[in-house]
Amino acid sequence: MQTLEPTARGAALSPPRALGAPPARALLRGAPEDFVVEEDLGFAPAGSGPHWLLRVRKRNANTQWVAGQLARIAGCRPREVGYAGLKDRRAIAVQWFSVPQSRAPVAWSAVREADFEVLEAHPHTRKLPRGALAGNRFTVRLGAPQGGGARLAADLEARLADIARRGVPNYFGPQRFGLDGANLARASEGLRRLGPRERGFVLSAARSALFNAVLAARVGEGSWEHLEPGDLAILDGRGSFFPVDRAADETLSDRCRRLEIHPTGPMWGKGTPATGARVLELESRLAAQYPQLTGLCVAAGMSQERRSLRLAVRELAFEPEADGVLVGFHLARGGFATAVLRELIEAAADSDVA
């Protein structure tokens, strides 16, 4: 069996920071309650239709397991349950699911189980598709050693202001690659040896590692937050992008400084990225370093797509507590809280960072 390119794991799991060494060390996720994520759908339930839209609170449970439990209660197949995205297991997560209406009525608002409960239930017109949300709100408790919450807040204040002003590199988090990079390691097996469910996870890991490698290179050269000739720029929180044919003028540069537009990196697929000049040269050179990963994406028939290199961190606030600091922020869909936290703190040895 072939081995994975030796630097792919490093690009995926330990890419370089952009804002310098973190100003403090803190405990991350000492308990599930220390990491709370709540989906922002961006739309209201329809109020009628053949599906139920369920707002569910889960604790220390993964999204797919909860979906299976909801299917059991609804009397439907697990694949008929919809959800916008996977949420962290070791956390408190409030997310939306859809289930088809069953012949026998279900009192959804009364559903309470050990690891999850249904908070709201609304009739809706269709199954909830992947990616159908505006973003996620996070509330993270950072534990301070020896009860030094006020000291930790003081140490973090300047870095938090920097993150609010500049954003952070939009790296895929380690959970994208499986436990200790296990999904990425399986990219060397090829598509034929992977089952349908495994195939999706491995392809996602391969594409994400290539993106992280390109972003890491641009962090290294300082261009991750600036528009370069040949870039494809994306509007913040949107899917539309446009080419930067020459050096960005003052208006474009100013919009980039205000986090309204960002440079993008490749989500690899067949063909060549639509970038140009030095940007295309960089992306092509890095793709050539990872032939197993690019070959897997091409063999699966995936198309070239783009993802923002920078992640704007909105509604950023913090509050000192006796034994830590509570940090809250909102990220657009697809953004990983780990991308923010790795620029803010060095996780203590007993943290759960997966």
Query: Rounded distance, CA 246 to CA 223, Å?
Result: 15
* Block residue for tokens 């952070």: 168
The predicted structure's pLDDT at residue 240: 85
In the block, residue with structure tokens 């953004």: 335
| Alpha-carbon gap, residue 196 to 203, rounded angstroms | 11
Coil/strand/helix, residue 90: coil
Burial letters for 187-218: b for 16+ Cβ neighbours within 10 Å, e otherwise? Answer: bbbeeeebeeeebebbbbbbbbbbbbbbbbbb
Are 276 and 244 a contacting pair, CB within 8 Å?
Answer: no
Closest CA to 144 of 154, 134, 136, 135: 154
Q: Are residues 15 and 57 in the same domain?
A: no
Structure token pair of residue 351: 């943290």
Task: Look at the block and give the residue holding tokens 């999204």.
Answer: 63
Cα Rg of the chain, angstroms: 21
What is the rounded CA–CA span in Å between residue 174 and residue 244?
31
Q: Which domain holds residue 302?
A: 8-21+170-311
**Residue 316 structure tokens:** 């950023």
Domain match, 14 and 52 both: no
Q: What is the residue-wise DSSP string for 31-44?
A: SGGGEEEEEE-SS-
Please tell me the predicted confidence (pLDDT) of residue 147.
76
Predicted TM-score (pTM) of this structure: 0.92
Residue 256 within a domain: yes
Q: Kindly state whether residues 182 and 79 are assigned to the same domain.
A: no
- Claim to verify: residue 177 and residue 245 sit in the same structural domain: yes
**Co-location of 63 and 119 in the same domain:** yes
231 and 183 part of one domain: yes
N- to C-terminal Cα distance for the chain? 28
What does the DSSP 8-state code read for residue 266? E
Q: What does the alpha-carbon distance between residue 92 and residue 61 come to, in Å, rounded to a whole number?
A: 9
User: 233 and 275: one domain?
Assistant: yes
Q: Any bridge partners for residue 83, and if so which?
A: 97
Is 254 annotated in the active site? no
Give pLDDT tens digits for 322-338.
Answer: 999 999 999 999 999 99
Q: Which has the closest alpha carbon to 329: 339, 321, 227?
A: 339
Answer yes or no: is 327 within a domain.
no
**Contact of 237 with 267, CB cutoff 8 Å:** no
Same domain, 120 and 177: no
Q: What is the CATH number of the domain that holds 90?
A: 3.30.2350.20
On whether residue 177 sits in a domain, the answer given is yes
CATH number for the domain spanning 273: value is 3.30.2340.10
Residues 177 and 304 in one domain: yes
**183 and 284: one domain?**
yes
Token pair recorded at residue 154: 């003081």
Pull the structure tokens for residue 302: 């995936």
Both tokens of residue 57?
A: 């609170």
CA 307, chain centre distance (Å) = 11
Is 326 a member of any domain?
A: no
Decide which of 124, 146, 181 is a domain's last residue.
Answer: 124
Query: Would 29 be classed as within a structural domain?
Result: no
Where does a domain end: 288, 311, 334? 311
Q: Which of 68, 89, 124 is the last residue of a domain?
A: 124
Same domain, yes or no: 90 and 208: no
Give the burial string for 128-167 (b: 16+ CB within 10 Å, else e).
beeebbebbbbbbbbbbeeebbeebbebbeebbebbbebb
pLDDT digits (tens, 9 = 90+) for 192-228: 888 888 888 999 999 999 999 999 999 999 999 999 9
3-state secondary structure of 173: coil
Residue with tokens 């469910």: 197
**Residue 150 counted as domain residue:** no
Q: Are residues 182 and 257 in the same domain?
A: yes
Phi, psi of 183, deg, nearest 5: -65, -40
Beta bridge partners of 234: 241, 262
pLDDT means over runs of 10, the chain (354 residues): 57 92 93 95 95 97 96 95 92 97 91 96 96 94 89 97 98 90 85 84 94 96 95 90 83 93 97 95 95 93 96 97 96 96 88 63
Q: Which of 34, 88, 155, 236 is catalytic?
A: 88
Tell whether 328 is covered by a domain.
no
> How many independent structural domains does the chain possess?
2
- Residue 350, in any domain of the structure: no
